[in-house]
Amino acid sequence: MNSEILKNGNTEKRVAILIDGDNAQSSLMEQIVVESARFGNATIRRVYGDWTTSNMKSWKDILNSYAFQPIQQFRYTIGKNATDSAMIIDAMDILHNDQVDGFCLVSSDSDYTRLATRIRESGKMAIGIGKQSTPRAFVSACDVFIYTENLEERERQKRKAAQKQQKLEQLTQADLELIEKVNQAIDMAGSDDDGWTTLSEVGTALRRIDPGFDPRSYGAKQLAQLLRSRKTFFDLKKPAGKSLILVRAKEDL
Residue 192 maps to which CATH number?
A: 3.30.420.610
Residues 148 and 187 in one domain: no
Residues 182 and 94 in one domain: no
Is the pLDDT assigned to residue 76 strictly greater than 90? no
97 or 23, greater pLDDT: 97
pLDDT digits (tens, 9 = 90+) for 108-152: 999 999 999 999 999 999 999 999 999 999 999 999 999 999 988
Residues 9 and 79 in one domain: yes
State residue 127's pLDDT score. 97
Residues 25 and 122 in one domain: yes
State residue 242's pLDDT score. 81
* Domain at 30, CATH number: 3.40.50.1010
Instruction: Answer whether residue 164 is part of any domain.
Output: no
For 59, the domain range is: 4-157
Residues 177 and 142 in one domain: no
Residues 57 and 149 in one domain: yes
**pLDDT, average across residues 201-211:** 90
pLDDT category, 9, cuts 50, 70, 90?
A: very low
Residues 84 and 184 in one domain: no
Instruction: Answer whether residue 13 is part of any domain.
Output: yes
Is the pLDDT assigned to residue 206 strictly greater than 80? yes
Is the pLDDT assigned to residue 191 strictly greater than 80? no
State residue 252's pLDDT score. 58
Instruction: Answer whether residue 82 is part of any domain.
Output: yes
- pTM exceeds 0.75 for this model: no
Tally of domains within the chain: 2
User: What is the overall mean pLDDT for the chain?
Assistant: 85
State residue 249's pLDDT score. 87
State residue 85's pLDDT score. 87
**pLDDT, average across residues 207-217:** 89
Residues 146 and 195 in one domain: no
Instruction: Answer whether residue 166 is part of any domain.
Output: no
pLDDT category, 190, cuts 50, 70, 90?
A: confident
Residues 189 and 245 in one domain: yes
Q: Diameter of the chain by CA atoms?
A: 77
Residues 151 and 187 in one domain: no
pLDDT category, 195, cuts 50, 70, 90?
A: confident
State residue 43's pLDDT score. 94
State residue 147's pLDDT score. 94
Residues 88 and 201 in one domain: no
